[in-house]
Amino acid sequence: MGAHDIIRVENLAVVYGEDHVLDKVNFTVNKGEIFIIVGGSGSGKSTLMRHMIGLEQPAGGKVFIGDTDIATSGEKAVSLALRRIGVLFQASALLGSMTVAENVALPITEFSGLPAEAVAAMVQIKLSLVSLECYGDHLPSEISGGMKKRAGLARAMALNPDILFLDEPSAGLDPVTAAEIDRLILHINQTLGTTIVIVTHDLDSIFAVGQRAIMLGRKTGNIIARGAPADLRDHDPDPEVRRFFTRRPPDA
Amino acid sequence: MHPPLPSGKPLFELQQEDDNILTVVLHGRADITTAPTLIRQLPAAVPSDQRIQQLKVNFANVTQFDDYGAMVVLRLVQILQLNHDQLSFVNLAADHEKTLALVDFGQPDCRIPSHKSGNLIVHLGDATISVFRGGAFFIEFIGAMVFSLLRVFRRPRSFRAGDTIAYMKTTGVDALPVVGLITFLLGLIMAFMSSLQLSQFGANLYVASLVSLAMVSELGPIMTAIVVAGRSGSAYAAEISTMKISEEIDALVVMGFDPNVFLVLPRVVAAMVVVPLLTVFASIFAVAGGLVIGVLMLNLSPGAYINQSLDALTLFEVMWGLSKSVVFALLIALTGCFRGMQARGGAAAVGSAATSAVVTSIFLIILFDSVFAVIRSYW
């Protein structure tokens, strides 16, 4: 493990039946950067993320979070490694029976060892990080989609993770709200130094926040391009990659 | 994730320059790892007999600081009842300042009113209104069903026969094993319990009449209906409420389909066809259960037992039992679909729709059974 990388994926292979969804995927994510995983629909980018956060076991290869290979290490080491990450799921995944504040309090109460009033103060701090300090007592069904994303982000940030995974953070949001989420991502990255991995195909957010990106090929199941998003758009030799980053269909 | 704390080293030090100026000097880490210790020790160490007017926090020796450390300071400010300008920081490094900027040491300024009202009268009113709304919605639902039925009579092609057959399978055929098992055991138990009494009078043979008469006219329809309510009534409610929540029903309406014809009618028709058939099977299995007791314990011959069972029945009893089960089927299917259509909200709504479908169905089954009994006594 190098001095700068915090995640290392080595020869990751994912097979569903006969279908090689991912094959020989290799990359590293550096500490403190905003890293983007892009690819067309069905290219396996969400599958890649599910393997990086330990939800699924790969058919082959390794996924290191810090120094722990979460594909092969023991349960205890994996759960310690996974404590370093926070995840914002695509549909926010807030528990519908709990208020926003209770959702954020859930991991804090369970893992921090703080007494109740301190947890409440901590929840307030986390909610004000995402500008939801006045919505703590609302149920997830009573707030808008953008607010749900922000609440999900507050919950993902509850234990100050070293790495934050975001699955399509701007999907289903209007452009202004999506831009607000982008600004929040940059804010968290700059003030807290959190490493952020984003799975998305929203070009505006890729160029707004992304420092480095990899692109998964639709048929090949491996990485067809890597580099800074703007470089990929302007200088990548592969026309499929340039088309993706300029939003053009194949025959244009 | 975090290295263990170096034990024995104090995390903070208190200095009191004046009577009412308190300086907290933090040492080492003031972050997520030390916050649980700090939050317990720091407020307890502050002298409680003086009114502190100024709180200074000295960061000179701080190595790690995050928002959990800032929370400790925030709690101290709250406990000492200070306001923002009575708090100051000494020897702040740049990243400490960044972290502190995340924390609002004043009260949050919330313009939106808290939407939860704890007022008992408001809750009572809300509950009353929702009961009436539910009643109105039910009447609307029944009315819409009648219109849907008329529409199907006018255009028979719009009736979904394929779906109806599929529901007949899930509601009827698939329920046969459990209905059979339950009623077989019920017949067994009934025969056994009644034989204890009847054998005192040497009336063993009448065990057969008791079992067949009780099953065909009362218990058969009720037991079958309760099993179907638990198996299929809840399934109808869960399916339809899931469709409702994921806007599938709205999609049907927009495409010009009548959701009652599309979803409710096939289920209602299927249930009304198969539940009476299940009831017939239920009675047969119960008689078989009684037969086992009659032959093994009461020394009756199988032929005599079956003859006695049939003798006790009249065509009227059989038709009475079957017509009850048709009504029960209608109640179960309508309640299941109605609860499904009523669902609003998220995943929890599906669960409560299924639960209330079963509870309402069983209540209605018992209620209508009593109505049937009253009608029969004035026949």
> Residue B102 and residue A129: Cβ atoms within 8 Å?
yes
Quote the minimal CA–CA distance from A44 to chain B in Å.
25
> Residue A125 and residue B66: Cβ atoms within 8 Å?
no
For residue range B211-229, list pLDDT tens digits in order. 999 999 999 999 999 999 9
For residue B5, pLDDT over 70 is answered with no
Computed over every residue of chain B, the mean pLDDT equals: 89
Q: Best residue in A127, A191, A194 to probe B by mutation, most B CBs within 10 Å? A: A191
A142 in contact with B, Cβ within 8 Å: yes
pLDDT the model gives residue B115:
57
**B345 contacts in chain A (CB < 8 Å):** 96, 141
**3-state secondary structure (DSSP) of residue B349:** helix
For residue range B29-81, list pLDDT tens digits in order. 888 888 999 998 888 888 777 778 888 888 888 888 888 998 998 888 888 88
Fold of B12-101: Transcription Regulator spoIIAA (3.30.750)
Residue A51 domain-assigned (yes or no): no
> Residue B35 and residue A124: Cβ atoms within 8 Å?
no
**B102 contacts in chain A (CB < 8 Å):** 125, 128-129, 191
Residue A128 domain-assigned (yes or no): yes
Beta bridge partners of A36: A198, A213
Q: How confident is the model over A28-34, as a mean pLDDT?
A: 93
Token digits of residue B24: 């907290």
User: Tokens 């067309």 appear where?
Assistant: A40
> Residue A96 and residue B345: Cβ atoms within 8 Å?
yes
State pTM to two decimals: 0.75
Computed over every residue of chain A, the mean pLDDT equals: 88
Confidence class for position B4, pLDDT limits 50, 70, 90: very low
A135 in contact with B, Cβ within 8 Å: yes
A156, with CB counted inside 10 A (0-12, 13-18, 19+), is buried
Number of domains chain A contains: 1
Token digits of residue B214: 């009780």
Confidence class for position A111, pLDDT limits 50, 70, 90: confident
Quote the minimal CA–CA distance from A41 to chain B in Å.
22
Quote the minimal CA–CA distance from B12 to chain A in Å.
18
Residue A232 domain-assigned (yes or no): no
Q: Half-sphere exposure of B309 toward its Cβ, with a 13 Å CA cutoff?
A: 25
Residue B78: partners with Cβ closer than 8 Å, 6 or more residues away: A121
Please give the DSSP secondary-structure letter assigned to residue A202.
Answer: -
Q: Provide the domain limits for residue A113.
A: 93-160
* Encoded amino acid at B344, one letter: R
Signed CA dihedral, B326, B327, B330, B333: sign only: negative
Q: How many CB atoms lie within 10 A of CB B195?
A: 21
Beta bridge partners of A171: none
Instruction: Report the Cα A251 to chain-centroid distance in Å.
Output: 32
**In chain B, ranges of CATH 3.30.750.24 domains:** 12-101
ipTM over 0.85: no
For residue range B115-129, list pLDDT tens digits in order. 566 788 988 998 999
A125 in contact with B, Cβ within 8 Å: yes
Residue A170 domain-assigned (yes or no): no
